Amino acid sequence: MTIQPFTGVLTAIATPFSPDLAVDVPAFKNLLTLQRDAGLHGVVVCGTTGESPTLSSEEKKLLVSTALEFQTDHFRIYVGTGSNSTAETLESTRTFAKFEAHGQRVAGVMVVTPYYNKPTQTGLKEHFLTIAKAIPDVPVCLYNVPGRTGCVLKPKTLVTIAKEAKNIVALKEAAGDLRALTELNIALKQANLCDQVTLLSGDDATFAPALLCGAKGIISVSTHIVPSAMLAMWKAARDGDFKTLQHLYLSADPINTQLFCAPNPIPLKWALAHLGICKNVLRPPLTPLENEEIMLISQALTSVQAAGLKLLK
């Protein structure tokens, strides 16, 4: 049975680069294999963690095409298509909504709130509706990440947008603010939109409490490192096993916290390189992790292993 779009435990997947800054396709395939084999529900390609602002349109097509080789009914491929230009976002979204490779099409698109411009709530509404209505048959996940964009999608605005565009099926809430997530959940309930719009955590450090506040899954960075633990957290919450949920949450806290000791994906790239998955190469203006922060990540990896969590599995 095919899973519903944007549900469960998903990875905002990194883009490996070779030393000459080209996309490292073999390393990307290795990363996809690890995610699929861990039992996760899918990945989002070309998001923030994938360093999307530095990728050309042809590189994005290469990454999506490669990822679609791995798509199954239980492991779905989504693509980030948002930017701070409505016209650019529209073009990218239309391209990937109809993009096909290996007999597969993407399962949906994720569209971030426009960054830097700081649009009003009216601007956000018009931006998202323009995108969603252009691809009425493709699932859309909105992405609220105020720490990177400088603007916030408010509950009332989300409700208005979702009522007008039924293909808006999810919101990735990455403010790391449980009160904000709670207010979004309440607004969706009051508008009878919970069956249409799934709330997803976008903040690993607050994943477990987010599940208790209305999130139904996550688009995660930590799933690169401890995929089984993050999946087990989701299953524990689903099954009402709060003792297990608490144990896993506390055990995974060091990596869920320290993967963000510097801007994402800088710490992640170091950790993946340390574990032999890809090179520790980022595209400028990002630079490798500083020595004092390397100690934090190294200690976090040791801590989660000591707590019994498996790395990369």
Catalytic (active-site) positions: 143, 172
3-state secondary structure of 22: coil
CA–CA separation, 104 and 118 (whole Å): 36
Non-local (6+) Cβ contacts of 63 within 8 A are 15, 23, 28, 45, 46, 50, 55
3-state secondary structure of 42: strand
CA–CA separation, 98 and 312 (whole Å): 32
DSSP single-letter state for residue 260: T
Contact indicator for 40, 11 with CB cutoff of 8 Å: yes
Instruction: Please state, in angstroms and as integers, the Cα–Cα distance from residue 242 to each residue in 52, 144, 161, 208, following that order.
Output: 36, 27, 34, 9
Q: For Cα atoms 106, 74, 159, give the angle at the middle one, nearest 5 degrees.
A: 60
Q: Are strands 100-101 and 140-144 parallel, antiparallel or unpaired?
A: unpaired
CA–CA separation, 15 and 22 (whole Å): 10
Q: Can you read off the two tokens belonging to residue 105?
A: 């099409």
- Written as one string, the DSSP assignment of 144-195 is E-HHHHS----HHHHHHHHHH-TTEEEEEE-S--HHHHHHHHHHHHHTT-TT
Helix-helix angle 291-306:242-258, to 10 degrees: 160
CA–CA separation, 148 and 112 (whole Å): 10
3-state secondary structure of 227: helix
